[in-house]
Amino acid sequence: MLLTLIKNNAKLIIRNRISFMFMCVFPVILILILSSAFSSMLGKTVELGTFSVGYSIEEGSNLANYFSSFKKQFEANGMILKPMDQKDGVEALLNGEIVSYLTLSDDKYTLYNEEGIHIDAMIFESSFKGGMHLYDGFKTMMAYMVQNETSYADKIAERIKSFDDKQQTNLIKTERLEVDPVPKAQDYYGIVQIIFIIWFGVSSAVGLAEAERKNKISERIRLTNVKPITLFLGRFISNTAATCLQVGIAIGVSTALLKVNWGEQFLLSASVLLLEVIATSAFGTMLTVMIKSSTIINMFMYVGAFVFGFIGGSFQTYMYNFISEDIVRLSPLYYLNRTLIELSTKGSSNYLGTTLVMLLVITISSIAIALTSLYIRREA
């Protein structure tokens, strides 16, 4: 009896061609749109190394007496400062020979950069601002001592000029931090949109329940005295199989057309996706048992999927999310997205265990609630 139910239910799901094709085509459309829109944000790798900065100091300025100390500190951190006049400096900047050009006097400094985002220029600007804050602090202290005829002013000035290498390195220091690799846009959205569309597998369960009611299949099944668990499994397994087929088609099309890279841990990622399909099928079947109105279930599904998708990284990336981390962690899609993206880029994820537990809890609790409800109705 169970095999007959599964076969008949699968036929009912496939006959709903609009719903079936929606699950296959919609994620591919979303991948195309979102990967094109956010291609400039993702997949960018920056190799940081030694770079040059041009500079000129106003003749006779007090800063010139101490600049050699700052220059050594910058060079110790891979920032080479080259003296040049303003005309040569601007030309070198436009030709890409230097990343910035700096003009200095005792009262102010001007930093010339090219338009756009340039990591090297941003690093130098941040470092130089820190150095100038340090210099301004020494200058203010010396001015106070001279004004108050303090004998230590000359000694402090000599001390600034004669910083040893260790002190110079400590005053201005750049560090390289290990960060997670950023996937390309088509890889990121090629993965998260598959995760996103699986939650719409609930619609297959809703369509199946609606077809059963329309054709009075449920009433005929009850006359055969079928056990509630058999009735549930007939819906659940057929819905799971149909969703797996739809997701498989979507993955195949997106991989072939857009070259989506799932990484070296594809089998592990596929296992997580399968467990997600099982969880959503169990959840969807449970909803059709508990709620008779297809409209209410569909509204609940679409609103829930888009809200959880929005805060969980299905549209805006979870790496650059502007929403509070406490709110983001309420979305099941956040854990799925982060797990599969990290598996594709790093080969491992600290969120894998949490994701598996979450999906198992959804599956087991949905099955338990649905079976309990079916048995209670049977007894009634």
Q: What is the mean pLDDT of residues 340-348?
A: 92
For the chain, what percentages of helix, strand and coil (3-state, to nearest 5) are there?
70, 5, 25
Tokens of 130: 């820190």
All structural domains of the chain: 2-43+184-379 (no CATH), 51-171 (3.40.190)
| Pairing of the two strands 51-57 and 79-83 | parallel
Which single residue is written with the structure tokens 């949490």?
A: 354
- Comparing CA positions, the residue from 201, 198, 211 lying closest to residue 11 is 211
Given a contact cutoff of 8 angstroms between Cβ atoms, the answer to whether 53 and 93 are in contact is no
* Tens-place pLDDT, residues 197-220: 998 888 777 777 777 777 666 666
User: Up-side HSE of residue 252: CA atoms within 13 Å toward CB?
Assistant: 8
* Tens-place pLDDT, residues 26-72: 899 999 998 888 777 676 665 667 889 898 888 777 777 767 777 88
Partnered with residue 54 across adjacent β-strands are 82, 101
Given a contact cutoff of 8 angstroms between Cβ atoms, the answer to whether 152 and 6 are in contact is no
Phi, psi of 9 (to 5 degrees): -65, -40
Mean residue pLDDT of the chain comes to 80
The CA distance from 322 to 69, in Å, is 41
The CA distance from 369 to 94, in Å, is 68
Q: What does the pLDDT read at residue 162?
A: 53
Tokens of 101: 């050009």
Q: What does the pLDDT read at residue 182?
A: 79
Burial 250-281 (b: 16+ CB within 10 A, else e): bbebbeeebebbbbebeebbeebbbbbbbbbb
Given a contact cutoff of 8 angstroms between Cβ atoms, the answer to whether 287 and 300 are in contact is yes
* Tens-place pLDDT, residues 71-127: 887 887 788 888 888 888 888 888 888 988 888 887 788 888 887 667 788 888 877
The CA distance from 335 to 359, in Å, is 10
* Tens-place pLDDT, residues 180-192: 777 888 899 999 9
Q: Is 269's pLDDT higher than 90?
A: yes
Q: What is the mean pLDDT of residues 229-249?
A: 88
Higher-pLDDT residue of 179, 263? 263
- CA end-to-end distance (rounded Å), the chain: 23
The CA distance from 338 to 4, in Å, is 39
Q: What does the pLDDT read at residue 179?
A: 66
Other C-beta atoms lying within 10 Å of the C-beta of residue 153 = 17
DSSP symbol at 59: T
